[in-house]
Amino acid sequence: MMKSDVKEDARSVTLRKPKAERWEQLLDAAADIFFEKGYDAATLQDIAERVGILKGSIYYYIKTKTDLRDSLLANLNRQRIDFISERARSGETSIEKLVAMIRGHVEFYCANPRKSTVYLQESRRIDKAARARVVRSGSYRVEFQRVLEQGQKEGTILPELEPELSSRAILSALNALYLWYTPRFPQAQVADHFVTTILRGHATDAGLEAFRKLPI
């Protein structure tokens, strides 16, 4: 069999992927290419080649590169919200929830560094109307705000702190991971550092005592 026949057979197998599976491959490839080249320099041809399909096949799913980027951001936003919401439900007290959410944020980033970086970079570049439509940027932050409000009612979060402002400050610190994180810092160490510094700035004495009693 000639090399061209082998290549054609491989492409035929690739093209027979179910639609849902192909869509996930496109999103993964888009995240990789946007990370490596930047959104502006990336092309649909680059993404098609990474997946192993013809460029024209992409138009079965989207019309433009912007459509693909927006779909990627919306998909990642849903993953982030689902992930952090699950962590918030894992505890009963505000301190348990906040610790789980901080660790969860670090865990999600370390498991998805390229996607997280693209999400944080590109969601800041799109205009306000598109951001509200595509990524619902407040939804993730509100999960933190709710936990802080619960903590103030429980007496474990400082009452003088404004929950919305505090949630924005916490996420600003956590989201900055993509600017400096390298694997030479173990994930657990990074998570512990964030937990300690955030709680020391937000928790009451009762909250810090509750934290010290949590199982390691």
Q: Please report the pLDDT score of residue 14 as a whole number.
A: 45
pLDDT, tens digit (0-9, with 9 covering 90-100), for 52-93: 999 999 999 999 999 999 999 999 989 988 988 898 888 899
Averaged confidence pLDDT in the chain? 89
Confidence (pLDDT) at 76: 92
Question: Where in the chain do CATH 1.10.10.60 domains reside?
Answer: 1-61
pLDDT average, residue stretch 14-35: 85
Q: What is the DSSP code (8-state) at residue 60?
A: T
Return d(Cα 144, Cα 138) in angstroms, integer: 10
Residue 212: band (very low, low, confident or very high) from pLDDT cuts 50, 70, 90: very high
Q: Taking residues 127-144, what's their average pLDDT?
A: 79
Q: What is the mean pLDDT of residues 8-19?
A: 49
Closest CA to 207 of 96, 101, 100: 96
CA distances in angstroms from 214 to 43, 106, 208, 209, listed in the order given: 49, 19, 10, 9
Residue with more model confidence, 183 or 33: 33
pLDDT for 8 equals: 44
Measured from the Cβ of residue 6, the count of other Cβ atoms closer than 10 Å reads 10
Kindly tell me if the per-residue pLDDT of 120 is higher than 60: yes
pLDDT at 6: 42
Instruction: Provide the pLDDT for residue 3.
Output: 46
Residue 162 has a pLDDT of 98
Distance, in Å, from the CA atom of 34 to the CA atom of 38, rounded to the nearest integer, reads 5
Using the CB atoms, write b or e for 97-132: b if 16+ within 10 Å.
bbbbbbbbbbbbbbebbebbbbbbebbeebeeeebe
Residue 101 confidence (pLDDT): 96
Using the predicted structure, report yes or no on whether residue 11 has a pLDDT greater than 60: no
Per mean pLDDT, which range of 13-27, 67-81, 143-157 is the poorest? 13-27
How far is CA 106 from each of CA 40, 115, 133, 144, 160, rounded to the nearest angstrom?
28, 13, 26, 14, 27
Q: Which two tokens stand for residue 161?
A: 């702190």
Q: What is 64-212's CATH number?
A: 1.10.357.10
- How many residues are given for the chain? 216
Q: Where in the chain is the domain with CATH 1.10.357.10?
A: 64-212
Check residue 19 and give its pLDDT: 85
The pLDDT > 90 percentage for the chain reads 74
pLDDT, residue 136, reads 67
Take residue 92 and report the two structure tokens written for it. Answer: 């009963």
Confidence (pLDDT) at 139? 80
Class of domain 1-61: mainly alpha
| Separation CA 147–CA 153 (nearest Å) | 10
